[in-house]
Amino acid sequence: MPSLRFPPTLAWHGTLLRLLDQTKLPAEEAYLDVENVAALCDAIKRLVVRGAPAIGCAAAYGVLLAAREARKGAEGCGGSQPVNWAERFNTLCEQLADSRPTAVNLRWAVERCRATALALHKAGKPIDLIEAALETEAQAIHGEDRAMCDAIGTHGASLLPAERATVMTHCNAGALATGGSGTALAVLYAAQARGTKLAVFADETRPLLQGARLTAWELAHAGIDVTVICDNMAASVMRARKPDAVIVGADRIAANGDTANKIGTYGLAILAQHHGVPFYVAAPSSTFDLKLADGSQIPIEERARAEISQPQGTLNVPPNAKVFNPAFDVTPAALIAALVTEKGVLRPPYRESIAKALSA
Amino acid sequence: MPSLRFPPTLAWHGTLLRLLDQTKLPAEEAYLDVENVAALCDAIKRLVVRGAPAIGCAAAYGVLLAAREARKGAEGCGGSQPVNWAERFNTLCEQLADSRPTAVNLRWAVERCRATALALHKAGKPIDLIEAALETEAQAIHGEDRAMCDAIGTHGASLLPAERATVMTHCNAGALATGGSGTALAVLYAAQARGTKLAVFADETRPLLQGARLTAWELAHAGIDVTVICDNMAASVMRARKPDAVIVGADRIAANGDTANKIGTYGLAILAQHHGVPFYVAAPSSTFDLKLADGSQIPIEERARAEISQPQGTLNVPPNAKVFNPAFDVTPAALIAALVTEKGVLRPPYRESIAKALSA
């Protein structure tokens, strides 16, 4: 993999989690230091940190912050296992897990870390040891995320032509959305590293412009040719440029392969089918939610009116008109040519290939 | 038709053309008074006035301004027919006709008025008389536009259910885009007038947000239930709400029915086909360009990078990323269920139905 030429999306500094404030890109590279659960929940809700895998990593460190906060709140009330620690800890973990509803990695990371902590707590281990274990667990999740990104990249690059490839993407499923090199964009970094000449079209991705602000920023920094288009130009670009692939990330994938991702993904998949362009979803195992038989059960977050009506302060929608602002949509498995995971490239029928890959 | 509760898009005041400045909506209802061809060309380029039929009406008054300007420049050099008048007049008419490349109504209106003027000039008529004829001709074009809008509305409403209808639209093909009640939106006003309860979803229409700023503004003023969505939400809304129709306007229609309209129309037509939603184009005869066999010959205007990269002053695209900004796309006739004109509803095969309607 190439050395990625941009600052870290999230970095643990022993007592605080430092987040690159993605709401300020590309105009400004600012950082936010987070030292408690409330601040992290706020950062997740405001999309300071976003992207399912990055939220998972941030939440893992958040569980450690929760443990420390639970101890602090209980200080003076107990010894090595303060009174009500577990109760306070669980409440904070729930707040964290509920900070956004669609990405499954968030709850996955919280539950994994919480289980570690509660098992030690049940065994009567001191809080110091529980906190040390949580730090190790968070760093493990972050490290696994990096390795997962690289593996997704390698598997996904095999789907692209070796010499030159034109690729479309939506939203940001890159280094900024993970603890590593990305999911969809990891495929591009891996292709670049092996020498493929890339031309990438990035949907700007309304309303929050993650494609224009974030994907364009990180691809341009990595020296990849990137062109930003409005979401509504994708069909024209597909007809004119005949891309080799559309590659996107995912926030949650059901057992049958139905995929929740940033709003607009579903429409893009229909356009790809119409133009005969293969549509790929790149995501780690932690994105799969096998409890859900299909995509109809995935909760879809609706966000604030002002994101559309008054972005960046300018009034764009008159007050007497309504606004509908779903943050995600569900792409039926039938429109997806392959799911690219760290375990390999999964093909239809997905119920079988997913079950097999995830049990391996 | 209902009385439309919004200020006039364009109004002739004897010596000047007063334009509602659509770049300032919905925050502000400001007007721009235009007294010469250069100012009108600038207003057309900056989209102070936009929408193919409205540009046509504005251009018709513009030819009168051109005639007056040609006389002024030549004053003192001749009698009732100043030296070089026709040359000056023609140059100004060309500037006007070239101010935007895609909408055919612009050149259509300029040529119609110019022909009137040049015929009188050739016959040796005095400039005063030519100017009076041009004022009459511009007012005729404006009046025909109003009647055309109402006829399109009546024909189009027959395509919607009588009691309640859910309709999607893109960009603004309304009163703000014409000299009358609109094209696509005239259909809604006509349906409203006969008592149909409407729910309208308006694509915001990036990059210039004509749907959010203009369509929402005029529909809400008319008391029609309107919900603004980002362009990339259209597929989700189609799946969830099963609209009765998508209705859009047009900037130019080729002899085979291929239709150039605001960027995003082509993608929307594909999404409509995928969801089994009929896709209608509403446009007057003056939008048809029978010299073009199909849509591949329609010139597509590309607009400035800053419309996408730095809208309303905020930097959204990093400087080292490219931007592609086509203003229009071409929807193949095969995706269009009907063309709604002032002469009636045209159905495929379009080459025949268009030729028949336009020769009638």
Q: Does domain B156-359 have CATH number 3.40.50.10470?
A: yes
Do B10-149 and B156-359 agree at the fold level?
no
DSSP A208-252: TTHIIIIIHHHHHHTT-EEEEE-GGGHHHHHHHH--SEEEE--SE
> How far is C-alpha B310 from the geometric centre of its chain's CA atoms?
26
Kindly list the domain boundaries of chain A, sorted by start residue.
10-149, 156-359
Please report how the helices B234-241 and B265-275 are oriented relative to each other, as an axis angle in degrees rounded to 10.
30
Do the beta carbons of residue A355 and residue A257 sit within 8 Å? no
Do the beta carbons of residue B249 and residue B175 sit within 8 Å? no
> In this complex, is the C-beta atom of B231 within 8 Å of any C-beta atom belonging to chain A?
yes
A98 is known as an active-site residue: no
C-beta neighbour count of A344 within 10 angstroms: 17
The model's pTM is 0.92
Say how far apart CA B258 and CA B53 lie, in whole Å: 18
Q: Walk along chain B (360 residues) and give the pLDDT tens digit of each residue.
A: 445 555 689 999 999 999 999 999 999 999 999 999 999 999 999 999 999 999 999 999 999 999 999 998 665 544 555 679 999 999 999 999 999 988 788 999 999 999 999 999 999 999 999 999 999 999 999 999 999 999 999 999 999 999 999 999 999 999 999 999 999 999 999 999 999 999 999 999 999 999 999 999 999 999 999 999 999 999 999 999 999 999 999 999 999 999 999 999 999 999 999 999 999 999 999 899 999 999 999 989 999 999 999 988 899 999 999 999 999 999 999 999 999 999 999 999 999 999 999 998
Amino acid identity for residue A311 in this structure: P
Q: Tell me the chain B residues in contact with residue A264 when contact means C-beta distances shorter than 8 Å.
A: 230-233, 235
CATH superfamily of A10-149: translation initiation factor eif-2b, domain 1 (1.20.120.420)
> In this complex, is the C-beta atom of A71 within 8 Å of any C-beta atom belonging to chain B?
no
DSSP B240-255: HH--SEEEE--SEEET
> In this complex, is the C-beta atom of A203 within 8 Å of any C-beta atom belonging to chain B?
yes
Average pLDDT over residues A95-115: 93
Tell me the shortest Cα–Cα distance from B339 to chain A, in angstroms. Answer: 21
Q: Tell me the chain A residues in contact with residue B234 when contact means C-beta distances shorter than 8 Å.
A: 267
Say how far apart CA B244 and CA B269 lie, in whole Å: 14
Say how far apart CA B48 and CA A25 lie, in whole Å: 31
> In this complex, is the C-beta atom of A204 within 8 Å of any C-beta atom belonging to chain B?
yes
Q: Tell me the chain B residues in contact with residue A298 when contact means C-beta distances shorter than 8 Å.
A: none
3-state secondary structure of A323: strand
Say how far apart CA B21 and CA A228 lie, in whole Å: 29
Bridge partners for A243 per DSSP? none
The runs of H, that is alpha helices, within B195-249 are 210, 216-221, 234-241
Q: How far apart are the first and last CA of chain A?
A: 26
Q: Per the structure block, which two tokens stand in for A308?
A: 């559309």
Say how far apart CA B12 and CA B7 lie, in whole Å: 13
